[in-house]
Amino acid sequence: MTSETTGTGSIFGRVGIWSSALHTSRVDDAGGKAIAEALAELDELGYGTVWIGGSPTPGDAAAVVAATRSITVATGILSIWSHTAEEVAAAVSAIDPDARRRFVLGLGVSHGPMVPQYAKPYSAMVEYLDALDAAEPSVGSGHRVLAALGPRMLKLAADRSLGAHPYLVTTEHTAEARAALGPGALLAPELTAVLDTDLDRARTTARTMLGMYLQLPNYTANLLRLGFTEGDFDGGGSVRLLDALFALGDAEQVTRRTREYLDAGADHVALQVLTADEGGAGLPRAEWRELAEAFGSEL
């Protein structure tokens, strides 16, 4: 089916940029200036949303909002184990009210191997959302999304937030997530792209990133549910797995793969651009420009 952009989806646009390099808390003044310049350009290029990846802090989110003028800003995602709901609500309330309308709080439960206190993630998320609702001022359901993969968390995302921001998923998962969420909730999957027409080299670049995620059981369990096997995880990922999870090739191929996710039921696709020379950790502004040109009015 082809996704129709809902009122919720329209604030995000059809295509956004996801980047873990937008943390001003982790860089010096020169790095902060580079981030601000890149954000200003993303604002001008016409992308609907910029997603701050890699467990940002509330301060990182506030800095990105301040450095942009019109683009929607979302965390993708802020870990509920790293910051209390009260701390997050206070940080959100400190953002300029006009700019705050462009901010969406993306929340997730992270992963057991990364969080010493990890326990009962679903219950922990419910308690966190309750605390955000009770905070003064609150961060209500209309200002947040959830990182969700499985059926229970997807239902919670539909019931208690704008919708879901799944990471490292296939088009098949997108179709299943749309069915689980229902027609009214936002579905904004992340899709990693490698702009390289040498497919063997592109897959090598993708494996450098994927290998880490294949050590995290939330992701591997989801991929097994989708029909992949343990053998697909060997060596950083089989060709079958890589081709299902990534957009590999030139800008035209990336736009085609993005449309596949939209056709499967996504309202918005958050593109993470991975480059061999930066290991995915930099600001690939040339690639962002190239993709903006390829998408044109589709953004």
Instruction: Render pLDDT for 25-58 as a digit per residue (tens, 0 to 9).
Output: 999 999 999 999 999 999 999 999 999 999 999 9
What percent helix, strand, coil does the chain show, rounded to 5?
50, 15, 35
pLDDT in tens, 49-90: 999 999 999 999 999 999 999 999 999 999 999 999 999 999
Region label for 237, one of left (φ > 0), alpha (ψ between -120 and 50) or beta (otherwise):
left
CATH number assigned to the domain with residue range 15-295, chosen from the 4 options 3.40.50.10320, 3.30.2010.10, 3.30.1490.190, 3.20.20.30: 3.20.20.30
CA 69 to chain centre: 20
pLDDT exceeds cutoff 90 at 179: yes
List CB contacts of 281: < 8 A, sequence separation 6 or more.
20, 21
pLDDT of the residue at 4: 38
Mean pLDDT of 176-181: 98
Q: Of all residues in the chain, what percent carry a pLDDT higher than 70?
A: 95
Radius of gyration over every alpha carbon of the chain, rounded to an integer in angstroms = 18
pTM of the model: 0.95
